[in-house]
Amino acid sequence: MDFIIFLTLLLLGYGFGTWAESRHYKSIEKREIQYQKLPTIALKHPLPQKGKVVKVKLASGNVVISVDYFKRFLAALRNIFGGRVSAYETLVDRARREATLRMKESCPGATQIINVRLETASISKNSKKGSVGSIEVFAYGTAITYR
């Protein structure tokens, strides 16, 4: 009976996790097209622009994304055998892209965002070493608006 419950949770985690991840990637891709003309760079100095600076502000975006049960199971297996934990790679990719988009959305009308930085943190569900419950990514930079 315990094995059936475990297998059911595993299959549900896989199904819903794949569906949610697919929907999130579609949302990210759609919004990235919308903001593709807003330069977002790690340089400390702005790109050359014509016009006068009319506004400078801190732009930031934050996201916390959770790991589904199936990916957690796959990562635990990978920890036993070693190697890349590809189950978490998509999680980190989605979190970075989403935080960057939220940063861009926080400064409507900006011409460019400079000095962009990304901070990451792992939020563990319990105190076990290597256990990941969620990942947080905070993106921030300086938004500059030219006239």
d(CA 137, CA 59): 14
Q: What is the CATH number for 9?
A: 3.30.110.70
H/E stretch holding 60 reads strand 53-66
pLDDT in tens, 105-132: 999 999 999 999 999 998 876 655 555 6
Do 66 and 17 meet the contact criterion of CB atoms below 8 Å apart?
Answer: no
Residue the block writes with tokens 């969620």: 134
* pLDDT number for residue 127: 53
Percent of the chain clearing pLDDT 70 (strictly above): 95
Q: Look at residue 81 and tell me whether its pLDDT is greater than 90.
A: no
Query: Could you list the residue range(s) of the whole structural domain that residue 78 is in?
Result: 2-146
> What total number of domains does the chain contain?
1
Mean pLDDT of the chain: 88
Give the Å distances, CA to CA, from 115 to 39, 58, 87: 11, 10, 30
Query: Poorest-confidence range of 14-18, 57-61, 90-94?
Result: 14-18
d(CA 93, CA 113): 20
